[in-house]
Amino acid sequence: MPIATVNPANGETLKTYQAMGEEEIERRLQLAEATFRTYRTTSFDERARLLRHAADLLDEDREDVARMLTTEMGKPLAQARAEAAKCAKAMRWYADHAAELLADEEPGAADVKDSGASRALVRYRPLGPVLAVMPWNFPLWQVVRFAAPALMAGNVGLLKHASNVPQTALYLEDLFHRAGFTEGTFQTLLIGSAAVDDVLRDERVRAATLTGSEPAGRAVASTAGEMIKKTVLELGGSDPFVVMPSADLDRAAEVAVTARVQNNGQSCIAAKRFIVHADVHDAFAERFTAGMKALTVGDPMDDGTDVGPLASERGRADLEELVDDAVRSGATVLCGGERPDGPGWFYPPTVLADIDREMRIHREEAFGPVATLYRAADLDEAVLIANDSPFGLSSNVWTRDEDEVDRFVRDLEAGGVFVNGMTASHPALPFGGVKRSGYGRELSGHGIREFCNITTVWHGA
């Protein structure tokens, strides 16, 4: 895949980039290693000062950055602005909290004495250069949610971004440099996917994080396992959105629409499978379908647009294949389901009912504004349908019954359970999944400690 900015609203190639050669990659690896030796000794106060400056610069750049994101991957401009603002918020959150999250931990006096020590503690130390392989769907946020905690922990970053968002990748390197971080603290590697393996095998790279597809996750995990390197993986998701009889149906349907089409439906944590109790299934389906039909699809630069184009022609074709397979197998199209005429990689908000386990869309992630609707006889069946997926990233549950909430929290196989609300990420809350959605956690204290050497320090009597 070429490294290029291609506007998904019209298919026009705006700018292409030459992939870095071996000499430039080597120069950047040397620089990362050398910079880490010094940067690791900086204080939390100094790191926080630099990160806050980066947040301030990002706020100043917000409008230009938003237009860049929309141009490169097609998200509505208002959502691009929100993404930039969220990144600045996360930078400040880690600047404010990193020292506390990574403070030395001391066990109780009795445990210290029992270990034979006069004093013992746990200290969090940085690992070194960390390779981040990042996706295009949230091209700023996915990187910042890695970079902010990693830099505050004293690590340095090497970014291999998706090949269709090169301007965003280069902007991020420039942002951190303008903020005062030395050149080797955060570097972008303009390389194709085939070059990732060699970089990951390099002894100077100490760990890796990847957000992306299952095949990419398997490849990185396999190489990292062979090289005995720490990894964090956030892969696909096909999140359930469960609606029970006690739910506020109007609010649930309204949020369901947003949860399905956020980022043009191209989000791992977007709700994709809508599992509704039989007693309220038809009423919810009517409201939800009406909401999906009412959305405006069009130019993502227009503030009146709700849903822009998919990010690539291949992505739209993959989505169409899932919908066509479901329809051939008996699914009912309640709205959408047909590619519009005209330029750009647009696809309409679509609702499919009468889904069964043999359809591909039941097992595979639909990365676009396509929702599948299920009817559940009771709570037990709702849980069975929700868990009948290879993924386990997050989940949404709508009920006013606290006993039902307890059951869902206990039984849903997911990294998050959001009750009467839409799944979202926040710097203070851990983010990640189970099953084929990956392992490890980003954000919160859990995320910042993922790339730390958790060191036992023991003092003899």
Identity of residue 24: E
* Maximum Cα–Cα distance across the chain: 78
Cα–Cα distance, 309 to 328 (Å, whole number): 25
Burial annotation 201-225 (CB, 10 A radius, 16+ → b, else e): ebeebbbbbbbbebebbebbbebbe
Strand 129-133 to 156-160 pairing: parallel
Q: From the CB of residue 188, how many other CB atoms can be counted at a distance below 10 Å?
A: 23
Site of tokens 């700023």: 140
Tokens of 68: 């860049």
Which residues lie below 8 Å from residue 416, measured CB to CB, with a gap of 6+? 393, 394, 395, 423, 429, 431
Q: Which residues are tagged catalytic? A: 234, 268
- DSSP secondary structure code for residue 127 in this structure: -
- DSSP secondary structure code for residue 193 in this structure: G
Tokens of 248: 């506020």
Q: Decide: helix, strand or coil at residue 214.
A: helix
Q: Decide: helix, strand or coil at residue 123.
A: strand
Cβ–Cβ < 8 Å for 399, 382: no
> Which phi and psi angles does 353 have, rounded to 5°?
-110, 175
Cβ–Cβ < 8 Å for 345, 310: yes
